[in-house]
Amino acid sequence: MKKVIFVLIDSLMPHVLESQKERLKGLRFLMDHGTYHSNMVTVFPTMTASVDSSLMTGVYPDTHKVPGLIWWNPHTGRIVNYVNGGLSVWKSGLRDSFRNVFFNMNEVHLSRNVTTIFEELEARGKTSASINFILHRGKKRHPVQIPWYLRWMMGISKNDTVPGPDWLTLGRMVRPHFLRSPKASGPLQGFGINDDFAADAVKQMVHEGMQPDLTMVYLPDNDHHVHKTNPDHGGDPLLQADQKICSMLDAFPSWEEAIEKNIWVIGSDHGQTAIPKDPEYNIDLDDLLQSFCILPVGKTAKGHHEVAIANNERMTYIYPLKPGVKRALLPRLVERNGIDFVAWKEGPSVHVESNDRKGRLSFTKDGPYTDEYGRSWSVEGNLEILDLSSGDDQRILARDYPDALSRLYGALFSQEIDSIVITAEPRYEFSSKYYPTHLGGGSHGSLHRYDSTIPLIVAGTNRPIPQPPRLVDLKDYFIRLLTEEESLLAAHQDVPVLQR
């Protein structure tokens, strides 16, 4: 049976891939020898932490319970920051941020009621590797090998371990024994959380005869470049990611042999939206909500705090911390120029309002309407608020906000507590004290198709992916690729059935 290699290029967008295709040797080879989908839909918020959690578990955030890259944790009273922006991490506390991303995300925040692809493959007797993904929970324990000063800063003892699949790398900080001289792994290179390290780890794994059945590889560098430049340009950053694809293909005697022996799947986590240079395209939330007592970054919520802001770039969770605050917040948010829509939950229902589209849209799970993915809903009010349409057949079609209902529901119900979701219109992003902004560059996080539509390349198999493609369906697809010739039904009996 063929092995599977999945490579996630952060912020890879279909239109950039298509326009650059002729320059991209490795990606073009896989596209020409496989199938290409330009319309895969990711989850919401379109941020790495929530997306990776859905990729690995096959469910939306309401089930896996990782709300986003930034969120407020009612159990600690503090904002969780899985490392976004140097200043925000510094202000949040280095130890707090690193412990959240290193330990808590996998072991505390990710629901125990879901299984990761690594856990499921192990239950089926298959081996797997996670190369630099932040979500990597598996049944094996791996020692943390970090310099003494980081150990001291993060409060890590020599015996601390993290869970993972058979092979796990988190740069040089966690790595298998056969990775002898890790490339590009100094402090200035993120200790190996970069494309060079990841591609080199895959090559070494193949050369050492250590390639497992499934290898999941994360290439982060494209995201950094797209944030700084216009997302429509692509260009050199994508060429660099392509070179890494080439070097992974080169690990085999020939590229033809690489796709004979392996199924290659190339995907992305989210897109990005161009933000103009003018500061008016930053929606200043500290200013907008200045009449409320806002929980400062790095502090623990106390009785006098009224609002917590969790800034996910083009999406933000606003948490009302006191009774009555939500009612005062909603009109303030709906009326602000640049905010695309405001959504909140009430019992089992989600309500959505927008400044420029009148009325309200309300929906709940189950009902007479069906979306493109076969989920059923009750829907009331102005469908145009989420650019949805429906004919006599009560089939809901999405345009600017793909898979809108499941994805918005997934974010709002990722926590039991009350929260308000706001997203920015195209060209806008949110700014709040100490969090990074991207005037003149690119930003993401929203429900809009610019941030939400991602490409998928599959080479080395004819097995079709469910249509229309969704990121949440990749986990089951990989399991089928690796097990279908064996008895899938028998294996299923040992593993809890996932709820969608």
Structure tokens at 97: 């941020």
Structure tokens at 77: 């009273």
Q: Which is nearer to Zn ion, 269 or 353 (CB)?
A: 269
d(CA 481, CA 484): 6
Q: How many CA atoms lie within 13 A of 34 on its CB side?
A: 27
d(CA 168, CA 179): 11
Q: Which is nearer to Zn ion, 45 or 469 (CB)?
A: 45
Candidate segments 129-137, 144-152, 215-223, 285-293, binder of Zn ion by CB under 5 A: 215-223
Q: For residue 82, give the DSSP letter.
A: S
d(CA 480, CA 463): 9
Judge if the upstream peptide bond of residue 45 is cis by omega within 30 degrees of 0.
yes
Looking at 384-498, list the stretches that DSSP marks H as alpha helix, in order from N- to C-terminal side: 404-412, 449-452, 474-483, 488-492
Q: Which is nearer to Zn ion, 61 or 138 (CB)?
A: 61
Q: Indicate the SS3 state at residue 133.
A: coil
Candidate segments 74-82, 193-201, 222-230, 422-430, binder of Zn ion by CB under 5 A: 222-230
Q: Which is nearer to Zn ion, 283 or 329 (CB)?
A: 283
d(CA 342, CA 356): 12
Q: Are 442 and 229 in contact (CB under 8 A)?
A: yes
Smallest separation (angstroms) from Zn ion to the CB of 69 = 8
Give residue 251's Cα distance to chain centre. 28
Smallest separation (angstroms) from Zn ion to the CB of 42 = 13
Q: Are 30 and 242 in contact (CB under 8 A)?
A: no
Instruction: Phi first, then psi: give them for residue 247, nearest 5 degrees.
Output: -70, -30
Q: Are 364 and 374 in contact (CB under 8 A)?
A: no
Q: Kindly report the length of the chain.
A: 500
Smallest separation (angstroms) from Zn ion to the CB of 413 = 24
Give residue 306's Cα distance to chain centre. 29
Could you say which of 166, 196, 223, 340 contacts Zn ion (CB under 5 A)?
Answer: 223
Instruction: Round the CA-based radius of gyration of the chain to a whole number and report it.
Output: 22
Q: Which is nearer to Zn ion, 57 or 443 (CB)?
A: 443
Residue nearest to Zn ion (CB): 223
d(CA 211, CA 262): 11
Q: Which is nearer to Zn ion, 76 or 189 (CB)?
A: 189
Candidate segments 60-68, 137-145, 152-160, 223-231, binder of Zn ion by CB under 5 A: 223-231
Number of residues that bind Zn ion (CB under 5 A): 1
Smallest separation (angstroms) from Zn ion to the CB of 71 = 16
Candidate segments 100-108, 173-181, 216-224, 482-490, binder of Zn ion by CB under 5 A: 216-224
Confirm or reject binding of residue 221 to Zn ion (CB under 5 A): no
Candidate segments 22-30, 38-46, 220-228, 463-471, binder of Zn ion by CB under 5 A: 220-228
Smallest separation (angstroms) from Zn ion to the CB of 134 = 13
Smallest separation (angstroms) from Zn ion to the CB of 14 = 17
Smallest separation (angstroms) from Zn ion to the CB of 314 = 10
Q: Are 231 and 442 in contact (CB under 8 A)?
A: yes
Q: Which is nearer to Zn ion, 82 or 102 (CB)?
A: 82
Residue 93's H or E segment, with its range, is none
Smallest separation (angstroms) from Zn ion to the CB of 362 = 32
Q: Which is nearer to Zn ion, 40 or 388 (CB)?
A: 40
Smallest separation (angstroms) from Zn ion to the CB of 142 = 26
Candidate segments 209-217, 219-227, 300-308, 420-428, binder of Zn ion by CB under 5 A: 219-227
d(CA 458, CA 4): 10
Smallest separation (angstroms) from Zn ion to the CB of 60 = 20
57-116: which residues touch Zn ion (CB under 5 A)?
none
Q: Indicate the SS3 state at residue 384.
A: helix
Smallest separation (angstroms) from Zn ion to the CB of 7 = 17
Q: Which is nearer to Zn ion, 414 or 443 (CB)?
A: 443
Q: Which is nearer to Zn ion, 12 or 325 (CB)?
A: 12
Kindly tell me the burial class for residue 375, based on how many C-beta atoms sit within 10 Å of its own C-beta (0-12, 13-18, 19 or more).
Answer: middle
Smallest separation (angstroms) from Zn ion to the CB of 240 = 16
Q: Which is nearer to Zn ion, 223 or 473 (CB)?
A: 223
Q: Are 265 and 4 in contact (CB under 8 A)?
A: yes
Which amino acid is residue 256, in one-letter code? E
Q: Which is nearer to Zn ion, 163 or 445 (CB)?
A: 445
Question: How many C-beta atoms surround the C-beta of residue 167 within 10 A?
Answer: 24
Judge if the upstream peptide bond of residue 464 is cis by omega within 30 degrees of 0.
no
Sites of contact with Zn ion (CB under 5 A):
223
